[in-house]
Amino acid sequence: MADKLSMMGNGFWLDRLAPYGMVLARVIIGYLWYDQLDWKMPPTFACPPDFAVSTGPDARTSGLCDWSGLVAVYSKIPAHAALFRDFINPNLSWIGWIVWIAEALTAALLILGLLSRLGGFLGLVQAVNLYIGLAAAPMEWPWSYGQLVVLQMIFFFIPPGRTLGIDAWLRSRAAAAGEDSRLARFLNWVT
């Protein structure tokens, strides 16, 4: 009896539940990425017919063109703003596909726990872009982007698909293939 009380008192049960907290976080953040696909559906990405982008708080458009335009205006890094202004925004009709597919892939990888380290990396790149580009925009809460960066960084460094995810199955197959297998080494890196 004393041993059971000792285990409960030192956080033993909480330690055993920790991986399931990571599963919950992985699924919730994966759903966040999935939920954000709806307002920018291809092929128009909810943009105006001419793909005009927003040029400030008083000249907003719609869809991906709205937010992409705001990045060009409010980015914290001038080179980042220039990249959006001079390359991304004029080409949103095809770059929008890359954005949409990257977000859909991030959502799927996190929700399924499939190649979750890759999902964490894709989400991290997108979250850093959002933080740099929109944290200074009026009416935005910069901490939301900062928190997304931190969560995606955690998913990259501590792949969450190893518990209740397809990664657990893939890793067991990779281990059976042996450490000399290129595929096994690749799977161990992305899962």
Encode pLDDT of 3-18 as tens digits. Answer: 665 555 677 888 888 8
Compute the radius of gyration of the chain from its Cα atoms.
20
Q: Name every residue whose Cβ is closer than 8 Å to that of residue 25 and which is 6 or more positions away in sequence.
A: 151, 154, 155, 160
| Whole-number pLDDT of residue 11 | 77
What is the phi/psi pair of residue 59, to 5°? -135, 65
Contact 96, 40 (CB under 8 A): yes
Q: Indicate the pTM of the whole model.
A: 0.90
Angle at CA 114, nearest 5°, toward 64 and 149? Answer: 50
Locate 137 and state its tokens: 């925009």
Span 139-167, pLDDT tens digits: 899 999 999 999 999 999 999 999 999 99
